[in-house]
Amino acid sequence: MNKLRIGIAGLGTVAQGVLHLIATNGDLMAKRTGVQLSIQRVASRTTKPEVDLLGGVFSNNVHDLVADPDVDVILELIGGEGLAKELIESALAAGKRVVTANKAVIAAHGDQLLASGNVPLRFEAAVAGAIPIIQSLNQGLAANRIESIYGIINGTCNYMLTVMEEEGLAFDQVLSQAQALGYAEADPAFDIEGVDAAHKLTILAALGFATSYDFSALYVEGITQIAAEDIQYAQELGFKIKHLGIARNTDAGLETRVHPALVPTSELLASVNGVMNAVQVVSDAAGETLFSGPGAGGAATASAVLADVLTFAATNFSEREPSPPESQGTATQIQRVAMDAIPSACYLRIPTLDQPGVFAQVASALSAHSISIEAVIQKEPSSADTSVSIVILTDMVVESAVNAALKDLAELAAVVGNITRIRVAPTH
């Protein structure tokens, strides 16, 4: 039986997941693909590790993987952008196939790393963990013109929003809980401020719309301003709040944006809870397809890494690698739409004094910017409160008009705190 000899860079959770999965399911994979995976070499800056390397030679230097003529495929599982990028480049230059789980390096350098016409570089694990979304975009939906992509692509955010909904807890309480459970990092900014989701959306947008890997083109907003009461009000209005990555082809160009959004409760996406990820793809022939699964974790990510490795195995070591669609290097610049120009219906929660005439002032400020009101929730304040929240769902309105109205509203004497604005997810 043919062997595919693997070199692994890194020995963290994902690398250990890969080793474990080869140990348990290697025979099954061999039966399925006709190729036996073997570990040739494992490189990590740690000292001699205490995990079973399945016969692989241990190195302290990841460049040893590139130098080793017996390594066929290099798995870049060290993360970060500096050394990872260097390793991928040198591996490709040496003619090695590369699989990476590194969303940051692909989001930042995808164009460059994939620039050669026929690059054996794969990165299924970089987006949405175990979900084969990259393969689905590249192959399963290859006959389609993609219209839009909506992704719940950060498990920390989805976990936190789900717990806030189910237990009515405040953001900070849930964050502490998530940190205790290992669902959020000690420094959670990367997740809860949307950067991680933006890396993934950069990749999804590039693949779905054959455009460049341009992280800087995205609008990015996290979930830090969401309060438990927003989730409750949204529910009364028929929505769930989800943190979404949205890439959407419109007449005005390509929208690429990451922010919390109101999703109608009837949508399947609204029922994706906890640490699960999901990506909904709307395309002209296949219609609405949705792919969900665990977005993180050693085993789930290892599953995606090895899916890529096995795709290499299935090509039977032919000299000429079958060209996956992502490697055609035909990325063209689609015009991106500036956030200011994107229309959304909006949820606004406006903390005001509990006085007569305040709602009229709010309505008039919105009206001055031609913003129509679709629904209102205003409740009697509890006896302890001197302020009251006016919750408004607007009709579709362009972002710049909402921004201007928010500025005017903030200047009203009766508005006594920060206004929360959450966009409603587009229906397509």
Q: Which is nearer to a second copy, 129 or 194 (CB)?
A: 129
Q: Which is nearer to a second copy, 192 or 309 (CB)?
A: 309
Instruction: Render 147-196 in DSSP notation, one character per residue.
Output: EEEEEE--HHHHHHHHHHHHH---HHHHHHHHHHHTSS-SS-HHHHTSHH
For residue 387, is it left (φ>0), alpha (ψ between -120 and 50) or beta? Answer: beta
Selecting among 85, 96, 200, 240, the annotated active-site residue is: 200
Is 99:134 a contact under the CB 8 Å cutoff?
no
Convert residues 81-120 into a mask of x (bound to a second copy by CB under 8 A) and - (unbound): ----------------------------------------
Q: Which is nearer to a second copy, 170 or 314 (CB)?
A: 314
48 is catalytic: no
Neighbours of 168 (CB within 10 A): 12
417 binds a second copy (CB under 8 A): no
Contacting residue, 51, 67, 93, 142, with a second copy by CB under 8 A: 142
Q: How many residues does the chain have?
A: 428
Q: Helical H runs in 168-287?
A: 171-181, 189-192, 195-208, 228-236
139 binds a second copy (CB under 8 A): yes
Is 91:114 a contact under the CB 8 Å cutoff?
no
228 binds a second copy (CB under 8 A): no
Stretch that binds a second copy, among 8-16, 135-143, 352-360, 372-380 (CB under 8 A): 135-143
C-alpha to C-alpha distance for 95 and 110, rounded to whole angstroms: 18
Contacting residue, 4, 6, 9, 29, with a second copy by CB under 8 A: 29
> Going by DSSP bridges, is the β-strand pair 239-250/35-43 parallel, antiparallel, or unpaired?
unpaired
**Binding to a second copy (CB under 8 A): which residues in 296-325?**
297, 299-300, 302-304, 306-307, 309-311, 314-316, 318, 320, 322-325
Strand ranges, E, within 253-386: 253-264, 276-283, 287-294, 343-344, 346-353, 373-378
SS3 2: strand
Q: Which is nearer to a second copy, 304 or 365 (CB)?
A: 304
2 binds a second copy (CB under 8 A): no
Q: Which is nearer to a second copy, 321 or 395 (CB)?
A: 321
Dmax (CA) for the chain in angstroms is 82
Q: Which residues bind a second copy (CB under 8 A)?
A: 17, 21, 24-25, 28-29, 31-34, 124, 130-132, 135-136, 138-145, 210, 268, 271-272, 276, 283-294, 297, 299-300, 302-304, 306-307, 309-311, 314-316, 318, 320, 322-325, 328, 330
| Residues classed as catalytic | 200
